[in-house]
Amino acid sequence: MCLAVPGRLLDVNGEDALARQGRVAFGGIVKQANLAYVPEARPGDYVLVHAGFAIAVIDEREAARTLDFLAAAGGGEGAGS
């Protein structure tokens, strides 16, 4: 099973579209993610991250729904935590 987790993009590093990286916050954890697949992503956006790659930009409401679902399934904290 593959799982993409939503996180909030904090900042973006790099100009080259293929090497563009960003710091993404997942609750209290911050990880680097490659942003090659989401050139439209800007700081403050929510992105779905799978295997170190941001694969889609989603709205805050969808991110909260997904995080709440994961929390209910025992996979972490909900958006309201």
Task: Give the number of domains in the chain.
Answer: 1
Decide if 77 is inside a domain.
no
What is the pTM assigned to this prediction? Answer: 0.84
Contact between residue 17 and residue 36 where contact means Cβ atoms under 8 Å apart: yes
pLDDT confidence of residue 51: 95
Report the alpha-carbon distance of residue 51 to residue 64 in Å, rounded. 20
Per residue in 53-73, pLDDT (tens digit) is 999 999 999 999 988 988 898
Provide the residue range defining the domain that includes 66.
Answer: 5-72
45 vs 18, more confident: 45
Decide if 43 is inside a domain.
yes
Per residue in 6-39, pLDDT (tens digit) is 999 999 998 888 899 999 999 889 999 999 999 9
Decide if 78 is inside a domain.
no
Decide if 16 is inside a domain.
yes
| CATH number for 47 | 2.30.30.140
Decide if 66 is inside a domain.
yes
